[in-house]
Amino acid sequence: MHIKTTGIVIREQTISENDKLVTLLTRDNGVIRAFARGAKSPKSRKNAGTQQFCYCDFDIYSGNNIFSVEEARPKETFFALRNDIQILALAQYFCELIYELSPREEQSEDYLRLILNANYLLMNGKKERSLLKPVFELRILSMAGYMPSLIACNSCGAFETDTMFFDMAKGDIYCENCNNNKYFIPLSISVVTAMRHVAFAESEKLFSFNLKGQALKDFEEIVERYLLHVTMRKYKTLDFYKMVE
């Protein structure tokens, strides 16, 4: 079966002198792994289109549960992501989250849009990395079924008080009057508002806000802690990003 789709390369692995195994996030088939024969050769038409971060129109052959890239026509290479080690490290972390949390072999247009928009903003410097990172983390968690319960206090239904409290274990929030657990994490209403925006906003408006100062630090910290808690794993690319930061 031949598949025509668009997608982005989130991993590349050399398997022989001339061949690669690439992991793609595709619009129509989610995350797939595909052989790219001859792609290591500088003369190959697959060479540019099978490098990490490259966004392409792909022609893929599928047979016996094996995928092979027949053609990769680049639409955007995102080459500038490689010009700064901190930007590169964060882009690689985004790719690892996509690999872990995106669907396999099913429609994934929203996931593809998320990483493309994040890469454009990261490459062009239009948003601070300290904001892009938690927005990407919380959005992909929400899409993958780990959305925290942010609409109102889980006990009394109050929409907000000056300080809300977050239950990391269950992903619930509580108002000042209903907080009865010393382990719940206090959040300013600006952080709760940011989390609500990321969880519920339309894709076109996802990155259309800013946080500064302590609110941004708190937002970044709580989202990362929540991600590590619910996914129950460590990410090598996150460790590398923190090291180069």
Query: Which pLDDT does position 133 carry in this prediction?
Result: 98
In total, the chain counts a number of residues equal to 245
Same domain, 165 and 190: yes
CATH of the domain at 41: 2.40.50.140
Same domain, 159 and 191: yes
Same domain, 112 and 180: yes
Positions in the chain whose pLDDT score sits under 50: none
Query: Which pLDDT does position 64 carry in this prediction?
Result: 80
Tell me the pLDDT tens digit for each residue of 131-180: 999 999 999 999 999 999 999 999 999 999 999 999 999 999 999 999 98
Query: Which pLDDT does position 42 carry in this prediction?
Result: 81
Same domain, 30 and 149: no
Same domain, 196 and 92: yes
Domain boundary (32, 58, 76) is at 76
Query: Which pLDDT does position 12 carry in this prediction?
Result: 95
Q: Which residue has the tokens 């630090």?
A: 217
Same domain, 40 and 139: no
Same domain, 44 and 103: no
**E strands in the chain:** 2-14, 20-26, 30-36, 55-63, 66-76, 163-167, 172-174, 185-188
How many domains would you assign to the chain?
A: 2
Query: Which pLDDT does position 1 carry in this prediction?
Result: 84
Query: Which pLDDT does position 9 carry in this prediction?
Result: 98
Query: Which pLDDT does position 63 carry in this prediction?
Result: 83
Question: Domain containing 134: what range?
Answer: 82-244
Give the SS3 label for residue 201: coil
Same domain, 133 and 96: yes
pTM to 2 decimals? 0.95
